[in-house]
Structure 1
Amino acid sequence: MNDASPRGALARFLTIADTAEMLSVSVGQAYSLVRSGELPAIRIGVRGQWRVERDVLESYIDARYEEARRASLWNQSDFANVTELALGEDHIRTSRS
């Protein structure tokens, strides 16, 4: 993707290839994110090509950073080694059944 071009500067939607490039992942990995619903996208045109809105991609990236920050803080906390808290409530319910 070339952000210096006028088309790139004005484009609201990104192709999957552009999205993959921005995330530094393969096109296949970008498709997987879209197909799973983890990265919201729309299908447009007769062939139904996927497009990701720039703002949505930026929000997705921000959310991944926040997730990583919270995980890092959790791993540094005194509670990270408490099994019941680390595994979550689902594990507690199934282990008591």
Structure 2
Amino acid sequence: MAEPRFLLLSDVAAELNVSDSQVYHMVRSGELPAIKIGGRGQWRVERTRLEEYINHKYAETAEWVRDNPLAEREPE
């Protein structure tokens, strides 16, 4: 069975292992692209956008790690 193109915010939260409210904040702030559909304006995140977001976060984290190396501990 093919994976759905669009995910509920709760599905995104489960994928990222964060709370639903964290995903809602990410969507409302524009950090994670999403669309509102239907008469009640339910949020949906396209699976490809989620994968792009994850890849961006990997690159962002790698840059942060490169710019903030671990301090070497002095021998005791």
TM-score normalised according to structure 2 size: 0.86
CA distance in 2, matches of 1:66, 1:31: 23
**One-letter identity of the residue aligned with 1:34:** V
Q: Higher Cα Rg: structure 1 or 2? A: 1
Task: Give unpaired runs (5+ residues) of structure 2.
Answer: 70-76
CA distance in 2, matches of 1:48, 1:70: 36
Aligned to 1:73: 66
CA distance in 1, matches of 2:8, 2:25: 14
Question: 2:41 matched to 1:48?
Answer: yes
Aligned to 1:81: none
Pick aligned residue for 1:15 from 5, 8, 30: 8
CA distance in 1, matches of 2:24, 2:18: 10
Pick aligned residue for 1:31 from 17, 24, 27: 24
Question: Deviation string for 1:49-93 (max 9, x for gaps)?
Answer: 0000000000000100100001111113xxxxxxxxxxxxxxxxx
Tell me the SS of whatever aligns to 1:72: helix
Q: Please report the RMSD computed on the Cα atoms of aligned residues, expressed in angstroms.
A: 0.9
Aligned length: 69
**Larger proportion of helix:** 1
Aligned to 2:74: none
Higher relative contact order (CA 8 A, sep 6+): 2
Task: Give unpaired runs (5+ residues) of structure 1.
Answer: 1-5, 77-97
Runs of 4+ residues over 4 Å off in structure 1: none
